[in-house]
Chains A and B, each alone.
Chain A
Amino acid sequence: MSIDSRALFRLTLVRHTCGAVAAIAVLYVLTTTAGPYRDLQIAQAAYLTCAVAGLTVLTGLGGQISLGHGAFMAVGAYTAALLIIHQGWPLAAVLAAATGATALTGAVVGAVAARLEGPYLAGATLAFAIGLPGLANYEPLIDLLGGQNGLAVPPPVPPAGLGAAFPLERWQAWIACLGAVLTLFLLANLTRGRFGRTLRAGRDDEIAAALAGLRVARLRIVATVVSAACAGLAGGLLALVATLAAPGAFPLALSLQLIAAIIIGGLGSLAGAVWGALILVFVPTWASDAASTSGLSHNIASNLPLAIYGLVLIAVTLAFPRGLQGGLRDLGGALRRRLPPPRLPTNPPGGADEATTDDAGARPDDRGGAGGRGERVRR
């Protein structure tokens, strides 16, 4: 690492720290001024932010889709619930364990997923998302996992120092927000550094990256682990906020909503992850409000958010292939100078390849025979 890049790194670190502190300050004001209902929504948005941010790193930067992040959240939630119920661990340890256990699951899934591509990967993770919640109903595990009803989690108790009247919802929001800020801070530093660069390189051209000495498969496993860890933390926070871990909380629709959130927010963008999570929380609220004011039936109101997500998924993919934020950024791109594109450390294979094509094409004295050979090689 040269002096320059080290200075740059320190600069970004400082910038991200400032951002995190500012975010905490804003969230403090928000949570203390909002009522319990809003606090709960903020908490939901916060834990969803963790999951969406993790997914956007995996899919946006790593190019790997996962329809199984709802299942990762389930792993985190059940881990947290079990530890709270049976071991009575302190909060931080519970959340760390939920993150760790899900990261382990992520390592297993990642080892498999690293070898899969496009639709195969999507199909396999889809099966994971649909299959895993079924485990809760598996006869030998019913006593442990509580079957269809799931596990009731005792709500976290606000520390006595905050006063006896401190609302539970605000405490839940604080925990969740702290988790979200920490996740975003770590991911921001991780993706700005070498990890993010190599991840993008592997996504853009797997073969070139491999030839340039990057271990694409290992990189993908690491990305899946990181991403799963975020989802695990999200799940653990969900267990604390919802005070419940049940299979019904992790339907396929949850995984699909996470996908919708990363697409809406702009693939690969951490700021977009926050927007995506906010949308996941506030669109349903808005829909039920709209339904009650305009007298829509329950069926329509409860399915309206899903319909919106789906339509937006389709529309965004057709209109802005890079996601809404990416699309807006593209529009503004002419005005604002963009960061230089990520470059591979070295790239001899790509260059060599182009050279042969050009050679064959551009030289007027190229002989028929030699050209014939070149043609055959090219095909």
Chain B
Amino acid sequence: MTKALLEVRGLDVDYGAVRALRGVDLSVERGSVTAVLGANGAGKTTLLRALSGLLRPASGTIELDGRDLTRAAVERIVRLGVAHVPQSGGVITELTVAENLRLGGLWRGDRAALARRIDEMYALFPPLAERRSLPAATLSGGERQMLALARALTGSPRLLLVDEPSLGLAPRVVARLMAVLRRLCDEDGRTVLLVEQNARSALSIADRAIVLDLGAVVAAEPAATIAADDRLRHAYLGF
């Protein structure tokens, strides 16, 4: 077995005096989808924010491909190929759709490749192509999620961190989004860490899953095992 792409050991994160993550261990295999599940306030967003450098852990280590990222700046982590799609997307509403997309890949500094990637994104998400020169403020919630995901992909990240992409979307759109995420792994060899409230859809595409509760990992198993565990499902996942 090759070493995992992302390796997290004993991660503690505090908000002031409040500990939001305690001793989180996580390893994400290359080319897999790993789901992070848990109730509101379990610490899922906190975990992603710590991984992308937005929060500084109190202790523990984060390694990407054997490289220590625990105290690295956001800008550096991005340049190592980690893309973070924040909760509710975080498209910049004052910019146009095309500008949002371009922003996601600017750091690579390769204009021709960026233009190609953006065209691929338009092919993958046709609604974005039609609205490319409109301000992102005019997009619907689902379109914004697409834009956020597409923007992350224009940087060709190795590791994609996605925070609750299904939030507020119709079931059909959720299913499409999940399919896209799965394809990213199967066809492009990307690695996805997927935070979801909607455990059922996440488990349907994930290889593995971890369940967070009050900031601690309570289960880390293959997705099928978790989906089959009635006790876990009832206690933490609500289905």
Contacts and interface: CB of A to CB of B under 8 A. Distances in A.
Interface stretch (A147-155, A234-242, A367-375): A367-375
B61 interface: no
23 contacts: A360-B40, A361-B40, A362-B41, A362-B214, A363-B39, A364-B213, A364-B235, A364-B236, A365-B39, A366-B39, A367-B238, A368-B39, A368-B197, A368-B199, A368-B237, A368-B239, A369-B238, A371-B197, A372-B167, A372-B168, A375-B40, A375-B197, A376-B168
B43 to A, nearest CB: 10
For this complex, into which size category does the number of interface residues on chain A fall? 10 to 19
Contacts of A368: 39, 197-199, 237-239
A364 to B, nearest CB: 6
Contacts, number: 40
Nearest to A372: B197
Contacts of B197: 368, 371-372, 375
A379 B88 contact: yes
Interface in B125-149: none
Contacts of B39: 363-366, 368, 371
A367 B238 CA distance: 5
B142 to A, nearest CB: 14
Interface of B: 39-41, 88, 167-168, 197-199, 213-214, 235-239
Contacts of B239: 368
Interface string A54-87: 0000000000000000000000000000000000
Chain B contact residues, majority secondary structure: loop
A378 to B, nearest CB: 9
Interface of A: 360-369, 371-372, 374-376, 379
A375 B199 contact: no
A363 B235 CA distance: 11
Q: Is the interface of A mostly helix, strand, loop or mixed?
A: helix
Contacts of B235: 364-365
B19 to A, nearest CB: 13
Contact of A374 (B40, B168, B198, B236): B40
B198 A360 contact: no
Given A364-B39, A368-B39, A372-B197, 15 more contacts: A360-B40, A361-B40, A361-B41, A362-B41, A364-B213, A365-B39, A365-B235, A365-B238, A366-B39, A366-B40, A367-B238, A372-B167, A375-B40, A376-B168, A379-B88
A372 B199 CA distance: 12
A362 to B, nearest CB: 7
A365 B238 CA distance: 7
A375 B164 CA distance: 11
A372 B41 CA distance: 12
Contacts of A366: 39-40, 238
Of B39, B40, B88, which is in contact with the most chain A CB atoms at under 10 Å from its CB?
B40
Nearest to A363: B39
A25 B198 CA distance: 76
Contacts of B199: 368
Contact of A375 (B167, B213, B236, B237): B167
Q: Which of A360, A372, A374 has the most chain B CB within a 10 Å cutoff?
A: A372
Query: Which of B39, B197, B238 has the most C-beta atoms of chain A within 10 angstroms of its own C-beta?
Result: B39
A369 B200 CA distance: 12
B166 to A, nearest CB: 9
Nearest to A379: B88
Nearest to B20: A361
Contacts of A364: 39, 213-214, 235-236
Contacts of A375: 40, 167, 197
Contacts of B40: 360-361, 366, 371, 374-375
A368 B199 CA distance: 8
B38 to A, nearest CB: 9
A66 B167 CA distance: 46
Shortest 9 CB-CB contacts between residues of A and residues of B = A361-B41, A371-B40, A367-B238, A368-B238, A366-B39, A360-B40, A368-B197, A366-B40, A372-B197
Contacts of A367: 238
A374 B167 CA distance: 11
Nearest to B236: A364
A376 B167 CA distance: 9
Contacts of B214: 362, 364
Nearest to A371: B40
A227 to B, nearest CB: 35
A216 to B, nearest CB: 29
A363 B237 CA distance: 12
B144 to A, nearest CB: 13
Contacts of B213: 364
Contacts of B88: 379
Contacts of B167: 372, 375-376
Contacts of B198: 368
Nearest to B40: A371
Contact of B41 (A360, A369, A379): A360
A199 B197 CA distance: 44
Give the residue among B198, B238, B239 with the most A Cβ atoms within 10 A. Answer: B238
